[in-house]
Structure 1
Amino acid sequence: MGGLRKVAAPFVVPGPPGVAVRAGLKGLSGQDETVLRRVGTLLGSLAAGDLAARCAAGLEHDGEQWARRKRALTGESSARWAGSMTRATHDQWALARRGQLAHLQNLQAGVDTVTHRLAQPLGAKGTRNTPGGYGSRREWFAKSRRLWVLQDRLEQVRADFEAGRVRVVRGGRKLLRTRHHLMAAGLSEVQWRLRWQAERWFLQADGESGKRYGNETIRISPEGEVSIRLPAALAGLANAPHGRYVLACRIVFHHRGEQWADRVTAGRAVAYRIHYDVDRGRWYVTASWQTPPVQTVPLSAVRAGGLAGVDLNADHLAARRLDEHGNPLGAPRRFDYRLTGTAGHRDAQVRHALIRLLHWAKRHGLALAIEDLDFAAETTREKHGRRKRFRKLISGMPTARLRARLVSMAAELGVAVVAVDPAYTSRWGAQHWQKPLTSTTRKPTRHDAAAVAIGRRALGCPIRRRTAPPPPHRSDAVGHRTVQARPGIPGREGSRPRVPGPRTRSVPSGRGAKAGDQCAHNRSGHTAEHEPWTQDSLPLSP
């Protein structure tokens, strides 16, 4: 047990810090679309220049430089537009910085792994925590060349990280690279250009508490009227007082519409973002706001009524209900989804599986226990070597998105979520629960057994089954204890070792030197434990 890592304690996952709802801008006139495009293009160019200035400042950026950037943008737009742009720029730079650190750590892990394996003899076996040597001389040579490549990349990334240099592409690096592969992407140059421009537009404004309808820049009334404060350079396009432009359409938030209406009526802060969907040819507006922190339910209260363990897999969610003592109840449940097709289709599949899981848990009054998964360090090429299929499987599992969606959707339905350490849940679940749950009509999978292990860990119970009470005597006539030893353990059927020393009582039969030799008892061909018996020779005469 000394080689096993320490398992963290389970905890109740707090609810989401905010919400976001989206509605379509239906019924826009041609003038409305022209104004939105011109405003987005102007503010997008200003945001691009501000991002370049922030990246050039690097680690030497401070509050005074932030104020100078905001003053420079205020003259060409407005103070509120400038505040939104500088804040978005800062968030984008911070995100790129975190990604750069993750990339640095990934490269360092790859270099360490390759260096260790190159130092091992060819064909050397690895241990549970460290890999062994490479299988052939050819592979060793190829990895030695790759080590130089990784070290060169590591030096470049480390130099950029220490200097505070980040590389950010407004519009997305993936879309930028698509420009050179239009035929493979199935796009024309005009279609790609429209996508590129739409991604680089800037039409988002932060909310302000105490202001009318919670936002002075992009204002939406409770009746659905949308008005935009135009930048100074486009003030001539205004159709309303105070340099504002009112759109011809009315919007309705079908999801959380009452919450949104209560906020805007009370003048509480609501942030808005207007964006254009190129594939559908439609405009949308997204409203978001922060929610006050809610006191989470104590873990003891969550465990009181039992819960359901959920095992995340590449194509389904395996769930198993457990009572408060950790005993499985009912049949295992499976909620399928497919991570194929477009991103929107994959996202819809995940949402559909989660809502079915949550409705099932809500119907039975159960909390959910999930693994606190993070596969960021498990998808490296050097960690799993040639196991391309396994690397692709791990990379394709949307652990972060599924966890975030599960927490937000569970909070809406009032279902508590408990996160547990994922260490050894699949291995120990299959070892201790897959066979006991098997019957003539049902054969559980490893995922079903892992769901039981996850649920038991959330309840504070050991994953292995409960120890049976001791037999009335020390022999194994009534069978071995449940957790004493597995069937394949060497010496399981042997006798206990004889303790040397003076005897305080006589040794009964069956306790001699050959007591452990089971095949020597009352079987032909073996010497008995008592004194050997020999037949006397026949007499020569009567």
Structure 2
Amino acid sequence: MGGLQEVAAPFVALGPSGVAVRDRLKHLSVEDEKVLRLIGDLLGTLASLDLKARCAAGLDHDTGQWAERKRTLTLDSSSRWAGSITKATHDQWALARRGQLAHIQSLEAGVRTIAHRLSLPIGEKGGKRAPGGYRSRQEWHAKARRLHVLEDRLRAVRADREAGVVRVVRGGKGLLNTRHHLRAAGLTEEQWRTRWQAVRRFLEADGESGKRFGNETIRVTPDGEVSLKLPAPLAHLANAPHGRYVLAARVAFAHRGEQWRDRVTANRAIAYRIHEDTSCGRWYLTASWTIPPVKTVPLAAARRGGLVGVDTNADHLAAWRLDLHGNPVGEPLRFGFDLSGPAPHRDAQVRHALIRLLHWAKRHGRAIAIEDLDFTADKTREKHGRRKKFRNLISGMPVARLRARLVSMAAELGITVIAVDPAYTSKWGAQHWQKPLTCKNRTITRHDAAAVAIGRRALGHPIRRRTAPPPHDQRDRVGHRTVQARPGAPRREEPRPRIPGPRTRSMRAGCGANAGDQCAQHRSGHAAEHDSWQQDSLPLSL
């Protein structure tokens, strides 16, 4: 096994730590929409100013500055709105720092790859573990220039990280850049402006246990009535006592509605978010809350009875059931999805494929084994070079979305998810399982074979199949059995240690003392037989 990467042990994936449900705010009046936009625009402006102040503080930020920022925001809103804004600001700043670190790691990987390939002679072949040299002198010079560009970017990003500088765009950098390409995006300036204002509004409120219905800022009663605490500058718009505005719409969460109602009735904390979908002119309310971590099933218990091995691909999930001993059972199945189109369509496709997979696994009472994939550092063009098709393939695989969806949906159905190391599963699965499982009526792909390999690794079995033993009485001609020691194993030619006592009913204790001495046996044809033996010369005149 020298030269192969170390394979990590399988583990049971942790369950979800939070829940989010959404419902549409139907039958809003014109006045309701106007008030929601006014509140969102005012709080969005305050959130932008707070984010600017947090980014300016950098690494020198402390609790005193946090309290000062919150006091400043409270004057123009309320203490609870200010608390929600500052918390959202901290989360956004922390997310930007994590993205900055990932960008540095990506640049470092690109610099290492280009520097390695530039150090090789032009045209030198590469291997599976390291790429070779560049194909031509022209490509060598182009990559040398790109190396300087990446090194300059890396120095700049490292300097920003050391200084605590992050670059954040409220509303998203992608939508901001769309402003300069309206024709390509199929938008008018007015449509873009409407969308830009909608995503920059702030209508989020964190919950608080012990308060009425779990949230004092955005309150939703058990019968679905929605009301908001108006900020101080908009208090004159109140249509209910205590500076609140009650919407005409009612909500009724179809999914997890009983859980939400139980929390509201018990005055447990629930966070709410209101946003507008400008593409269809609808308003939505999202409720979220944390849940205690689900107690994971021990790995040995999850393996009991077998499981379902799942191979993740760019357009489908290949699955195969395995018994406790790692043998494929039944026929393989594929659960396809189409990742073209907008993000909601892609997300719906992933959820539809996962729910079919989970229902199939639940019918057979099996756990699910899936690869613990992570392509964050393995899809750059510097590593794979001209292999654009492969880069697009791994970039299109919904790894993070699928993993998050699978864990949460499996926990809801009571199905255990086992994550395994993806190393060599596709290669060894195709090598050891694709051909043996292919028959006249069934053609097995390497994806199906990879599902078997993933399931066997999750069960603790080696991926390689055991070679069939040789026929009877043909050991010398066919070869040794697979359970025998390899040629390089020490002391392989010595006899097995003698176990005291009779081994069968026909042999007394101590009668097998010379069992390991081949020269002490009376075997026909043995070189050290007791009787003298000499081969007669062949007659030449016959």
Q: TM-score, normalised by structure 2?
A: 0.89
Give the deviation of 1:127 after TM superposition. Answer: 3.4
Match of 2:6 in 1: 6
> CA, structure 1 residues 484+344, in 2 after alignment: closer, same or farther (shift >3 Å)?
farther
**Partner Cα distance (1:510, 1:347) in 2:** 73
Identity %: 72
Q: Is the 8 A contact 2:238 2:244 kept in 1?
A: yes
Match of 1:306 in 2: 306
Match of 2:193 in 1: 193
Q: Which stretch of structure 1 is more off in the superposition, 446-455 or 60-69?
A: 60-69
Match of 2:425 in 1: 425
Pairing 1:230–2:230 present:
yes
The equivalences for 1:326-341 within 5 A come to 326-341=326-341
Match of 1:342 in 2: 342
> CA, structure 1 residues 247+143, in 2 after alignment: closer, same or farther (shift >3 Å)?
same
Match of 2:70 in 1: 70
Q: Which runs of 5+ in 2 are unaligned?
A: 488-517, 528-534
Match of 2:131 in 1: 131
> CA, structure 1 residues 533+277, in 2 after alignment: closer, same or farther (shift >3 Å)?
farther
Q: Is the 8 A contact 2:318 2:332 kept in 1?
A: yes
Match for 2:410: what amino acid?
A
The equivalences for 1:230-309 within 5 A come to 230-309=230-309
Secondary structure of the residue aligned to 2:104 is helix
Q: Is the 8 A contact 2:19 2:290 kept in 1?
A: yes
Give the deviation of 1:466 after TM superposition. Answer: 2.6
Q: Is the 8 A contact 1:160 1:166 kept in 2?
A: yes
**Partner Cα distance (1:164, 1:222) in 2:** 45
Match for 1:281: what amino acid?
G
Give the deviation of 1:534 after TM superposition. Answer: 12
Match of 1:166 in 2: 166
Give the deviation of 1:389 after TM superposition. Answer: 1.0
Q: TM-score, normalised by structure 1?
A: 0.89
**Partner Cα distance (1:247, 1:49) in 2:** 28
Give the deviation of 1:480 after TM superposition. Answer: 7.1
Pairing 1:42–2:37 present:
no
Give the deviation of 1:477 after TM superposition. Answer: 3.8
Secondary structure of the residue aligned to 1:319 is strand
The equivalences for 1:347-366 within 5 A come to 347-366=347-366
Structure 1 residues 56-90: Cα deviation after superposition (integer angstroms, max 9, x where no partner):
11111111111111111011000000000000000
Match of 1:149 in 2: 149
Give the deviation of 1:131 after TM superposition. Answer: 1.7
> CA, structure 1 residues 533+168, in 2 after alignment: closer, same or farther (shift >3 Å)?
farther
Number of residues of Structure 1 aligned to a counterpart in Structure 2: 505
Match of 1:455 in 2: 455
Q: Is the 8 A contact 1:302 1:416 kept in 2?
A: yes
Match for 1:344: what amino acid?
P
Give the deviation of 1:372 after TM superposition. Answer: 0.3
| RMSD, matched Cα | 2.6
Give the deviation of 1:472 after TM superposition. Answer: 5.8
**Partner Cα distance (2:538, 2:27) in 1:** 110
**Partner Cα distance (2:58, 2:324) in 1:** 54
Q: Which stretch of structure 1 is more off in the superposition, 134-143 or 39-48?
A: 134-143
**Partner Cα distance (2:479, 2:4) in 1:** 29
Q: Is the 8 A contact 1:467 1:483 kept in 2?
A: no
Give the deviation of 1:475 after TM superposition. Answer: 3.9
Structure 1 residues 404-423: Cα deviation after superposition (integer angstroms, max 9, x where no partner):
00111111111110000000
Structure 1 residues 513-539: Cα deviation after superposition (integer angstroms, max 9, x where no partner):
xxxxxxxxxxxxxxxxx9999999xxx
Match of 2:176 in 1: 176
Secondary structure of the residue aligned to 2:152 is helix
**Partner Cα distance (1:111, 1:484) in 2:** 48
> CA, structure 1 residues 438+247, in 2 after alignment: closer, same or farther (shift >3 Å)?
same
Give the deviation of 1:509 after TM superposition. Answer: 9.6
**Partner Cα distance (1:378, 1:226) in 2:** 46
Match of 2:79 in 1: 79
**Partner Cα distance (2:48, 2:537) in 1:** 100
**Partner Cα distance (1:144, 1:445) in 2:** 41
Give the deviation of 1:141 after TM superposition. Answer: 1.2
Match of 2:98 in 1: 98
> CA, structure 1 residues 123+474, in 2 after alignment: closer, same or farther (shift >3 Å)?
farther
Match for 2:113: what amino acid?
T
Structure 1 residues 309-355: Cα deviation after superposition (integer angstroms, max 9, x where no partner):
00000110000000011010000011111111111111111111001
> CA, structure 1 residues 18+534, in 2 after alignment: closer, same or farther (shift >3 Å)?
same
Pairing 1:437–2:457 present:
no
Q: Is the 8 A contact 1:54 1:61 kept in 2?
A: yes
**Partner Cα distance (1:324, 1:289) in 2:** 38
Match for 2:353: what amino acid?
A
Q: Is the 8 A contact 1:19 1:289 kept in 2?
A: yes
Give the deviation of 1:479 after TM superposition. Answer: 6.5
Give the deviation of 1:303 after TM superposition. Answer: 0.6
**Partner Cα distance (1:143, 1:534) in 2:** 81
Match of 2:414 in 1: 414
Q: Which stretch of structure 1 is more off in the superposition, 98-107 or 131-140?
A: 131-140
